[in-house]
Structure 1
Amino acid sequence: MKTCRIILLAVILLCCERVNAQTEFDIEAFAEELFSLQEEDLDYEQLYENLLQRYLNPIDLNRCSPDDLQSIYILTPLQVSNFFKYRRIYGQFLSIYELQAIPTFDLDTIRKLIPFVTLEKTTEKYSHKLPKRIISEKTAYLIYRHRIYLEKRKGFIPPDTLKNGSLTSRYQGPPGTQYLRIRSQHSGDFSFGITMDRDAGESFTWDPSSRRYGFNFLSYHFTLYDKGPWKQITVGDYQAQYGQGLVFGAGFSVGKGAETITTTRRSSTGIKPYTSSMESGFFRGISATYQKGRFEGSIMVSSAARDANIDSTAVPYRITSLPSNGYHRTASEINRKASANEKDVGININYSSEDRNLQIGINSLMTRFELPYIRDFRNYNGFEFRGQANLLHSAYFSYNYQNHFFFGETALSKSKGVAYVAGIMSSLSKQLDLVLHVRNYDRNFHSFYGNAFGEGSRPINEKGIYLGLSYHPTKQLQWNGYYDQFKFPWMRYRLYSPSSGHEWLQRISYRPKKSMELYFQIREEVKDRNVTAYENDLATYKIQTGRKHNYLLNLDIDISEQFSLRSRVQMSTFDYHQEITKGYTIVQDLNFAYKKWKWSGRIALFDTDDYDNRQYVYEKNVLWAFSIPSYYGQGMRYYLLAQFKPIRKLSFWLRWARTSYTDRSTISSGLQEVKGTHLSELTFQVRYQFNR
């Protein structure tokens, strides 16, 4: 068998088209494929950062489970099944290029998969001690980024004096943002990282009394992998993902979008280092995973200072809200910085069958705040968490049978609120994939780190059923579609009564050749919302159904290896309160590469009747930064991005972008207000790879 394996690998390398694993992966383009359904209620920066974590922590092909492979949303159930059949027959992979021998694995799929996977040398003997390995690791790098808006916002001009002699509120720091990341990691051995970030308007100061120490935000971690029975030990910042995200849901998850099959379920990827600049949604402390046979046990202990608004007039003091935007620019924002401590203790016990097809686990998480967390009462938040501590338990499973994946999780919070998720993802044939997903989240279910699939951003007060299909009759043609029916049993923010709605999407993609792709997408979303109150009108407590349609036509053409074009037209209509409004944008992109330079540019025209028709369009940005602004009003948007790599170790990026409006003389409001008709930003970034 071993001789046949070597012959097979030799044939693959000699006769098949070779996939270049050394080309730098365009993670921004991959993210755009997953996020091609632009919505106003998605945190794209958080989604992109979580995708980046998956990219920076690749999966070992010789040790991965079906759940691991599904976590990167690339492979269909049939492809995952074929992968494990191949590994079961031939044993461990000798080369990544061996993926080309697996049935249904086409070159396009392999190119997408390679950046997220690796082959660890299980018998590798380290000739240097750990500090030396960290310093000399070939993947070690430093990134520094600076971004600034060229027009001055109101928050940066001198303050005015009020009648009582006090000064108006202003930002206390300079207008530019700063970002610094240092990272060194070796898969299966260690990971070390430091991330520092300062937002525009935040001062760079050392002031322990206001809990500010230079950069506004500092994240750090040190992780050891596979040290005897210890699968991982992490000190510092980390995230956890187990089950379907009802308890631990901090991993990368997209939800509904143009990828209608693989993004609906969550995967148990375990505990991963946290290196993002997002200032919430992570644990800070120590975690460890111990493996014995088919069982794994993980423990997480965390103590972190959270931003909080505190009511000091209450007895005792209480937390009224936990802001997550991470801004500390004004006196009031600085006052809430790291003002309340949160302690968390979590455990996970996980069993995997010998063939890795069956996975069963339990989760528990206790969260305790320094002060009682009691929101100001409103009718819609009457069932939200109120107290000082929350206890959460869940049980989950996933089972892979041939081309079918079954998955589910059920959870119970301290309030007796229950949540459950159940579903099946299946390849019915080589051409047809299906997913069915059922969810129910009680109105009094409380999970601070949950991120389960749903219409809302949190697993609370929602019931729904989702059906997704993907059909590709030929290699050139593909149709994706889904239908999601949902219900909110209790009131929501800005919605005076229980409500329901539905959403569907259809997308047709045509790729006649590798260098060209054309796709058309249509989506409908129907949801209730409050009717705007009118003077002397009793409409204040009425709701009405809104119906929104989004249309998208996109053409990508690679003219040569150096030159590519993208043309896009987006349009939307919104039917609400006996009025139909609309919006559209026309976008033209150009990309050019020559020797050590890469250039990207865009010109976009947009015209929208109102805010409900704003258009979200992905933009290229500097490495590992994500940009998806909304076009609203009338005007133009354009940008130019340049990348220069003078030597192997060093890369530079420079990006200039501007939005010019024709329907206003003032942009934004409050301290973000800009006098004028255009808004420009400039971004500079440098990356140094220490050991390339």
Structure 2
Amino acid sequence: MKHAFFFLLFSLFSIGVCAQENNDWERYLEHLATLDEAESTSWEEVHQVLSEFSRNPININQATEDDLRQLLFLNEKQIDEIMTYLGKYHGMRTKAELNMLRELDTDRKMLLSCVIYIGEMAQNKETFRQLLRNAGHEAVAMVGIPLYERLGQTNGKYEGGPLRHWLRYNMNAKNRMRWGFIAAQDAGEPLFKGKNKSGYDHYSFYFQLRRFGVFDNLVVGRYKIKTGMGLIINNGLALGKASLLSTNGNTTNILTAHSSKSEFNYLQGAAAVLHPHPSVWITPFLSFRYLDGTLNKDSTTLYNIAGSGYHRTESELARKHNTSLATGGVHLRLVKNGFYGGATFIFNRLSRSLQPMKIDSLGQFSLSQLYRMWLPQGQQIWNLGVNYGYNRGNISVNGETAYGNCNAIASINAASYSFSSKFALTALYRFYALRYYALQSLSFSDGGSTQNESGLYLGANWRITKDLTLSTYADMAYFPWPKYQTLGSSRGWDIMTNLLYQHKLLTIQARYRYRNKQRDNEEKTSLIPKQDHRGLLAVEYSHNHFTLKTKASLSYCNYQKHSLGYLLEQHGRFQSKRFNILGSIGYFHTQDYYSRVYSYERTLLYMMNIPSFAGKGCRYALLASFQFRNIQLSGKWGTTHYFDRTSISSGLQQINKATQTDIDLQLRYSF
């Protein structure tokens, strides 16, 4: 009956709905995220940024390069093309002119159209007081209510209640000045007691001032920064392999406020972008923050830095903020006639020494810990790197080489050539020495870190017709030192092909991805291939207020045994000026965890959800929001029901029933 009800609901939605233009930015972000299978940690950050800019759009005719860098999904070459176009034609008169930009693919053009508006060319110089007077304010409160109990709640191991909730305030003055704070609480964390006597488990504050006096960009409080190609520092601002095709291997330097609930991978202090000369940018940054550290048996040194942000149990609370990290650095960037060069220096000092290898009483370590031997270690870690490139016309060359007190180097270099506005090739080679490490690095890799890897990536982007685009890449990687689940050197292959058809109201996406990584056999005597095949077929129809989407995902894994899984989904949306409703239903069937399937599921404002499913079951979700003047009320109901089990998850997260239902409520007030 449930299945019949939902399919009837979507059928009723599909009956002729007509109205005005749909400014649905998340639709285009979903195309990009599903292309990369959300393997990058940055999609949530991009989602957060676009949520803010969709409510505070940029006047494209007054935009600076740094304005466009704040959007995260554009690279330097794309930004340069936009700025050149604005200068040559004295601004834009309509958003349709975005179609004249050859460096942007369709989804990025549509994303950009959702976060800009066409305004006057002249810039009015406003004082600090005038900016404050014209600012917009937003307050958001959210609560998540589980209709189940986890084992940690029933046995009293969790120190707090079952609800998760957060508060957020943000002030925005024409994207030139922003400030706000966030208070967040995960389910199971104590409130106004224990280590959280001050109330919420997590507080965050940020202030950002742009194009004011000597500051091109100034951030105080919590912030994220990325320089070069991420070998020295990148606080999670990097997208996946498929996105590299549309950026032609090109990257951009970014400094932005950390305005999300994430408790990991940010800096806390102050950073600024100074622009003393048209060709020179200087970015100094300072930070001091506390981290959660897992201690070794000596109770003084660190085994690792924990990044989950959970503080629910006695052991999780014991490691909360038990280590401090002081960071300082500077980035210098020079640009001239299409050439650019830069240098980054960073120094980190931990209050405890990192010792990532567990040593037994005999002073020996287990062979299963070999993959941890060259992780960051010590109390002081510094790195120095240079980045360089050339962007002009059809050619784009970019690279970065880094060194540190690890006494090893890492280098990444990319080149792209556009044969025409319809066809471009990209090549990227990286060499990360197994002894190289940088505490905040994040760059292109197949193994998840910027060490112990060399590889070659080749990709092509071909706009076959106006409506049809083919994207494909092949990535080959070699790991000389043992990785997790391997006791020797190993190799990996990653091949993806995506076909995207976008014509007026209809979008069709077909994607196939093959990954082959070597893993230990069951006896751990030799390496055997772990082969993953994943396919996606999605058909989307969008007409004014209404969107209907059907998706089929297939997963096949061959590793010690064969495993097959699939997911069938139906999504629908109706949107009017004040009312918005989205519904989805999915059926999944996988033989085990190896053939698990993923889905992109819309949720509340400033939140993103890409769940995975394994086993047999159904997923239902309904999201609705209502806008009345300055108040927006939103709610989401989501249920996952399993047919092949009587309990969900394990450990303290275990739910002793086959159904998991969550209700999320949100109130937004803008003034």
TM-score (norm 2): 0.88
Task: Give the number of aligned pairs.
Answer: 635
Are 1:523 and 2:513 matched, yes or no?
yes
| Distance of 2:500 and 2:92 partners within structure 1 | 35
Superposed displacement of residue 364, structure 1: 0.5
| Distance of 1:476 and 1:417 partners within structure 2 | 47
| Distance of 1:427 and 1:67 partners within structure 2 | 26
Distance 1:520 1:76, change over 3 A: farther
Where in structure 2 are there 5+ consecutive unaligned residues? Answer: 1-19, 359-368
Superposed displacement of residue 439, structure 1: 0.8
Aligned to 1:617: 599
Are 1:406 and 2:397 matched, yes or no?
yes
| Distance of 2:94 and 2:460 partners within structure 1 | 30
Q: Do the aligned partners of 1:76 and 1:262 also contact (CA within 8 Å) in 2? A: no
Aligned to 1:222: 207
Are 1:358 and 2:339 matched, yes or no?
yes
| Distance of 2:591 and 2:106 partners within structure 1 | 44
Choose which of 261, 266, 279 in structure 2 pairs with 1:277: 261
Distance 1:347 1:55, change over 3 A: farther
Secondary structure at the aligned position of 1:34 is classed as helix
Distance 1:276 1:106, change over 3 A: closer
Of 28-37 and 564-573, deviating more is 28-37
Distance 1:248 1:328, change over 3 A: same
- Which residue identity is paired with 2:159? Q
Aligned to 1:254: 239
| Distance of 1:438 and 1:273 partners within structure 2 | 31
Listed as ranges, the matches of 1:41-440 within 5 Å are: 42=39, 44=41, 46-53=42-49, 56=52, 64-65=64-65, 72-73=72-73, 83-91=82-90, 93=91, 95=93, 97=95, 99-100=97-98, 102=100, 104=102, 110-117=109-116, 123-126=123-126, 129-130=128-129, 133-134=131-132, 136-138=134-136, 140-159=137-156, 170-187=157-174, 189-205=176-192, 207=194, 210=195, 213-250=198-235, 252-257=237-242, 259=243, 261-262=245-246, 265=249, 267-293=251-277, 294-311=279-296, 313=298, 317-353=300-336, 357-377=338-358, 378-440=369-431
| Distance of 2:388 and 2:664 partners within structure 1 | 45
Secondary structure at the aligned position of 1:471 is classed as strand
| Distance of 1:686 and 1:320 partners within structure 2 | 41
Q: Do the aligned partners of 1:311 and 1:320 also contact (CA within 8 Å) in 2? A: yes
Listed as ranges, the matches of 1:664-683 within 5 Å are: 664-683=645-664
Secondary structure at the aligned position of 1:244 is classed as coil
| Distance of 1:100 and 1:50 partners within structure 2 | 20
Q: Do the aligned partners of 2:228 and 2:342 also contact (CA within 8 Å) in 1? A: yes
| Distance of 1:253 and 1:677 partners within structure 2 | 37
CA offsets, 1:125-145, max 9 Å, x none?
Answer: 336x53x7436413x211211
Listed as ranges, the matches of 1:486-505 within 5 Å are: 486-505=477-496
Are 1:449 and 2:440 matched, yes or no?
yes
Secondary structure at the aligned position of 1:667 is classed as coil
TM-score (norm 1): 0.86
CA offsets, 1:299-334, max 9 Å, x none?
Answer: 1111101111223635xx211111001000001000
Aligned to 2:8: none
Aligned to 2:579: 597
Of 464-473 and 259-268, deviating more is 259-268
**What's the RMSD between the two structures over aligned residues?**
2.8
Are 1:573 and 2:560 matched, yes or no?
no
Superposed displacement of residue 598, structure 1: 1.4
Q: Do the aligned partners of 1:149 and 1:680 also contact (CA within 8 Å) in 2? A: yes
Choose which of 624, 629, 636 in structure 1 pairs with 2:611: 629
Are 1:652 and 2:651 matched, yes or no?
no
Give the share of equivalent positions with the same residue, in percent.
25
Aligned to 2:666: 685
Of 100-109 and 150-159, deviating more is 100-109
Q: Do the aligned partners of 1:38 and 1:617 also contact (CA within 8 Å) in 2? A: no
Superposed displacement of residue 402, structure 1: 0.6
Superposed displacement of residue 228, structure 1: 2.1
Superposed displacement of residue 152, structure 1: 0.9
Aligned to 1:5: none
Distance 1:576 1:189, change over 3 A: closer
Listed as ranges, the matches of 1:5-44 within 5 Å are: 25-37=23-35, 39=37, 42=39, 44=41
Superposed displacement of residue 265, structure 1: 3.5
Secondary structure at the aligned position of 1:254 is classed as coil
Distance 1:126 1:37, change over 3 A: closer
| Distance of 1:124 and 1:201 partners within structure 2 | 50
Aligned to 2:564: 582
Distance 1:419 1:340, change over 3 A: same
| Distance of 2:75 and 2:217 partners within structure 1 | 26
Q: Do the aligned partners of 1:185 and 1:192 also contact (CA within 8 Å) in 2? A: yes
CA offsets, 1:137-161, max 9 Å, x none?
Answer: 13x21121111221111111144xx
Distance 1:249 1:147, change over 3 A: same
Superposed displacement of residue 122, structure 1: 6.5
Q: Do the aligned partners of 2:36 and 2:241 also contact (CA within 8 Å) in 1? A: no
Secondary structure at the aligned position of 2:306 is classed as coil
Secondary structure at the aligned position of 1:261 is classed as helix
- Which residue identity is paired with 2:514? E
| Distance of 1:414 and 1:676 partners within structure 2 | 52
